[in-house]
Amino acid sequence: MANLTAQAQGLGNSPYSALGIGEIYGTNNITNLGMGGLGTAYANGFFLNSVNPALLVRNRFTIFEVGLLGQSKRLSDNRGQNQQDFGANLSYLTLTFPVTKYWSAGIGLRPYSYVDYQTTQYQKVPGTIYESEYIYRGRGGLNKATFTNGFSLTKNLYVGVEASFLFGNITNDSDSRLLIGGDDITVKRSTLTSYSDVIWRLGAAWRPKLNKDWFLNIGGTIDPMTRLGGNSVDTYQQIDASGTQISIPDTVASRSGGSIRLPSQLRGGIVLEKSQKLAFGVEFGYQPWSKFRQMDGSSGNLKDSYSIGAGLEFTPKTRSSRYLELIPYRVGFNYAKLPYSVGGKQPNDMNVSLGLSLPVGQFVNSVTISLIGGQRGTISSGQIQERYFKIGLGLSLNQQWFQRYKVD
């Protein structure tokens, strides 16, 4: 028998985060989330695009953005157990600025993955009347600090590169005890793993003009396969029924100078755009998580994953005296096959999204709101089902810095 226990860290309790290096946040800003995650091929010049570094050069303002993401979800399993959970976290802090007419640079900080789970299992001890209890917990996650550069090779051809320093700690605990009465002793084993290394992303985009108003946007990114350095320490201790330590933590094993292997990731998209009015398109992503390797060389039982997204952005009028006509409206859909394996099957993740950006002060500053509702996994397949609702809040401040003023 297994019980789901609510926790309020990261984006809330997620049993799937026990696998690999946890739940991956993704690189979408709040703006992209409102239109199905589209960002590889399309960039609105008034908002940052953190998906494809090549499109950074389309931002001709100095832009500071901050994003917050909250999630409410209901977890269910095939034993009829349910749990309501909520979590929220800072999604990103980013700053970008034009260096020259053909070059823009940016820095940022955002979470990369999170681990937040707790499950409890009970089993009968053969030949006795007693039960044993097993509690599995995980906490922590990885963050990344990024330095991005986007370049314009020609009027409509862009390339970019992003270097990110990945760092963080993940703790996995397993407690076991025999339930015999007041003298129960818990045996705790804890593994603390620290990671730090540099990962890369390369991007390219092409934006040919079809006629006076319409553009075709084609873009793609690749995150090369990389090894992420790490150190781990396994400790063991005993705790009595009152929570008092019977023994101090004893190191069972330690590993320094190890590494895990992160698989490459490919994303590509195509978007049709009517300048400052309408944009709609599709995007595809693929990551062979079967090539992931943990520090001990095992695969972590992960499978190849992919995602398909579609989205639309519409602005009634970019110049108008009516406030509602200045608002960009967004809608999107996303379907993903997750890298986890439950009973030999991979859970699906399907969601729909709505978003808008409210102009604040000057017309180039805005508050963006994105709403996403969806479901991961199905009870009928023996998986944990998560029905979730996410709300993203983003603030975008645009200024013209580093300009040379001319004196008449």
Q: How far apart are CA 388 and CA 281, in angstroms?
A: 25
Q: How far apart are CA 36 and CA 41, in angstroms?
A: 13
Task: Give pLDDT, residue 1.
Answer: 35
Are the CB atoms for 15 and 119 separated by under 8 Å?
A: yes
Q: How far apart are CA 332 and CA 38, in angstroms?
A: 8
Share of the chain above pLDDT 90, in %: 61
Which residues lie closer than 8 Å to 362 by C-beta, 6 or more apart? 398
pLDDT at 7 over 70: no
Mean pLDDT to the nearest integer, 140-160: 96
* Spatial CA neighbour of 158 closest among 56, 231, 292, 269: 56
Question: Which tops the pLDDT comparison, 87 or 11?
Answer: 87
Q: List the domains of the chain with CATH numbers.
A: 2-399 (2.40.160.60)
Q: How far apart are CA 270 and CA 39, in angstroms?
A: 10
Task: Give pLDDT, residue 6.
Answer: 35
Mean pLDDT to the nearest integer, 217-228: 96
Task: Give pLDDT, residue 362.
Answer: 64
Band of pLDDT at residue 363, cut at 50, 70 and 90: low
Are the CB atoms for 370 and 330 separated by under 8 Å?
A: yes
Mean pLDDT to the nearest integer, 386-402: 88
pLDDT at 182 over 70: no
Are the CB atoms for 34 and 94 separated by under 8 Å?
A: no
Mean pLDDT to the nearest integer, 382-390: 90
Band of pLDDT at residue 278, cut at 50, 70 and 90: very high
pLDDT at 8 over 50: no
Are the CB atoms for 389 and 71 separated by under 8 Å?
A: yes
Band of pLDDT at residue 55, cut at 50, 70 and 90: very high
Listed in order, strand segments (DSSP E) in 82-185 are: 82-100, 103-124, 131-152, 157-179
Dump pLDDT digits (tens) for 109-121: 999 999 998 888 8
Question: Which tops the pLDDT comparison, 193 or 127?
Answer: 193
One-letter identity of residue 24? I
Question: Which tops the pLDDT comparison, 276 or 3?
Answer: 276
Between vectors from CA 257 to CA 251 and to CA 260, what angle results, nearest 5°?
A: 100
Q: What is the mean pLDDT of the chain?
A: 89
Dump pLDDT digits (tens) for 227-252: 999 999 999 888 877 777 787 878 88
